[in-house]
Every structure is written in C-alpha cells, then in structure tokens.
Amino acid sequence: MVVDEQVVDRLLHALADTTRRDIVRRCLAGEASVSRLAEAYPMSFAAVQKHVAVLERAGLVSKERSGREQLVRTDVDAVRRARDALEQLEATWRGRVDRMSDLLTERNENDERDKP
C-alpha cells in the first residue's frame, strides 16, 4: 500500500503552514463558512479562500454548499491518513536502519564502490 509520492508532497505542503493547520483545526470543531473563517485571520477573504483550496487539493478538507455559504469541513480520515503517511515514511526509514544493522552484523570484506 505505497502512498503516491505526489500525494504525500501535497499533503505535507498543505500542512506546512500555520494558518492552514489552524483552518484544519477550526473546521474539525464544527463546520465554518469561508467568510467566517476569513474573519479569524489577518488577511483577505481571497487569501483564506486560496488556503482552503490548497487544503482541498490535498484532500484534507471538503466544501459543501449550504445556501449562499460554502461550508468547509475537515476530513478526519484524511488527517489520519496524513499521520499514517508520515508513520509509513518513518517505518520505511526505520526498516532501512534495521536492514543496515543486519548488514553490518554479517558484513565481512565486501567493499563495493560504484563509479560512474
């Protein structure tokens, strides 16, 4: 179940911004319209709109129309998937470390060196 690298890129990039993480948090605690969200930050409505778009592209939130408002809702599963993605990364890396340990243990004189 290898997570697509591109997906991970978008996911981590989306979360690598304080405002966006805050939006995720806010929209987890009850849905909020984009304009209501915009009131919470020292930036324009359009700017917040863009942040929401980035989160949406990463699959972290989704929008649902309700009358003339657009309600933003955090996808809790997506947040979990984000955590799992990092966990998987860590597992891969850790796996490498483990295999490395094995190699070191049984390593004798095999000194390989590739030169292009």
Partner DNA sequence: CTAACGTACAACCAAATGGTTGTAGATGAA
Partner DNA sequence: TTCATCTACAACCATTTGGTTGTACGTTAG
Binding site for its own copies (CB under 8 A): 5-6, 8-13, 15-18, 21, 24-25, 28-30, 39, 74, 76, 79-80, 82-83, 86-87, 89-90, 92-93, 96-97, 99-100, 116
Which amino acid makes up residue 89?
L
Binding partner of 5, given its own copies, DNA, none, CB within 5-8 angstroms per partner class: its own copies
**CA gap 102, 106 in Å, rounded:** 6
Which amino acid makes up residue 84?
D
Binding partner of 86, given DNA, its own copies, none, CB within 5-8 angstroms per partner class: its own copies
Binding partner of 3, given DNA, its own copies, none, CB within 5-8 angstroms per partner class: none
* Binding status of residue 88 toward DNA by CB under 7 A: no
Q: Measuring CA to CA, how many Å separate 33 from each of 4, 13, 46, 63, 65? A: 31, 23, 13, 9, 9
CB of 85 to its own copies, least distance (A): 9
Cβ count near 82 (within 10 Å):
20
**CA gap 65, 73 in Å, rounded:** 11
What residue ranges bind DNA (CB under 7 A)?
Answer: 13, 17, 19, 33-36, 38, 42-47, 49-51, 54, 63, 67-71
